[in-house]
Every structure is written in structure tokens, then in C-alpha cells.
Amino acid sequence: MSTPTPHIGAKKGDIAETILLPGDPLRAKFIAENFLTDVVQYNSVRNMLGFTGKYKGKEVSVQGTGMGMPSMGLYSYELIHFYGCKNLIRVGSAGALVKDVSIGEIVFALGASTESSYVSQFELPGTYAPIASYDLLERSVDFAKSKNIKYHVGNVLSADVFYNVSAPHTKWPKMGVLAVEMEAAALYMNAAFASVNALCMLTISDSLVTGESTTADAREKTFTDMMEIALSLA
């Protein structure tokens, strides 16, 4: 498969096997500038910024993916199949669906429920449950414990619709779903199909229970606990 791709301007070898995937390209830039050394920007196509550098001597990349499962599906597919990425870690924000999950806390997505039809392309003869890679999950939980970072592990909802007029989020918590975001299920499906590792970790930016929320600037620049956990996996 040839590189660059239509969406990523890097050549083969420019991107590390372990890659962080924030939805916001400015969060990718923030991570590169504040956590990595020897940074090289490998992508600016569509302003979806991508960087490779070193974290504590280990090579790691960070790539913006945009919003929604179609965008995550596109970028994760190219990163896996064109660039050889083996460990794909979404670092995103989410809305809490239960009262016990608060602003600023981290949710590790053990599984990712969805109302999306993304899974239909795989033509499976039943209902598929997208789940995280256990190794990445276990190491992330161990790191969070070592730093006394408040975290939760459980199911999240990867929603297709942000402004949903039918308010479906009242039903998912009854099945133990902790938070809602928009990308994890596509990442988990692409990773499973390609036999690579994936994990979604989310900082709670707002609550559908209390109505609390953070600013866009805070989402870009202040979720540093999550960033450090993800980088520890390099």
C-alpha cells in the first residue's frame, strides 16, 4: 500500500507503532509541544495535524482524527494498514451518563456500545461487542492507580448523533453505560479486524446528569492526566 495516503501526508516509517488519537488536532499539537521531544510534524492535510517524537526515549506519534465514527474509521484504517500502527490509543472527551462519574475523571472504555451501522461492513452473523485490548487497559489502570488518578472502567456509548432530538441517553445508563462519546467503537472494530491493539480513554468534560461542562480551551489543554497515562503505553 502506497504512502502518502489521501488524508495523511506521511511516508512509511514516519509514524510510530504506538500512536495517540485525539479527535481535536489542536490537542495533538498540545501533546506534541508539551510532552514530546525531537518532534517532527508529519501531517497537515486538511489541518488534521500529526506529529512523531519521543517520550522518555521511546518513539510515539499523535494524530488528530476529527469527530465521529466515519472520521475515526478513516484515520485508524490508514494508520493501521498503510503505516503499520500496532497500538492505537484514543485520548478524548466524553459526557457522563451516570451521577458517579464526575467532571475531570477518566473513563477507560472496556467496551463501546453504539447505535451506528459501522459494524455492518464486516457482515457478521450476529451482534458484535467492540472491546478494548486487555494489555493496554491493564497497563493504563495500573498507571492510574500508581498516580492516584480517579478513574472508572466500563462500557461507553459511541454515538453517531451529537444533537439527538429523541434524547436516547436516558436508556443507556440502565445497561451500565458510563459515558457518551463518538469514536471508540469504530476504532475497536478496525483494530480487531486487523489484529492490532486499541484503547479509548476519556476525560469527562461534561455531565448529562448535572449539566456541568468545561470549555473548549480546557478540553484542548488541561486533560494532562489522560495524556500521561496514554504516553506511558509507548
Distance of alpha carbon 143 from alpha carbon 154, whole angstroms: 17
Question: Which residue do the cell numbers 492516584 mark?
Answer: 148
Inter-CA distances, 106 with 137, 201, 202, 225, Å: 13, 7, 5, 8
Would you call 135 a catalytic residue per the annotation? no
For 68-72, the CB contacts below 8 A with 24+ separation are 68/160, 68/182, 68/183, 69/114, 69/116, 69/118, 69/158, 69/160, 69/182, 69/183, 69/185, 69/186, 70/118, 70/186, 71/23, 71/183, 72/21, 72/23, 72/182, 72/183, 72/186, 72/187
* Segment holding 84, helix H or strand E: none
Q: Is there a contact between 43 and 112 (Cβ–Cβ < 8 Å)?
A: no
> What's the start-to-end Cα distance of the chain, in Å?
25
Say which of 24, 135, 160, 206 is annotated catalytic: 206
**Which H, E and C letters describe 179-222, residue by residue?**
EEECCHHHHHHHHHHHCCEEEEEEEEEEECCCCCECCHHHHHHC
Catalytic residue set: 206
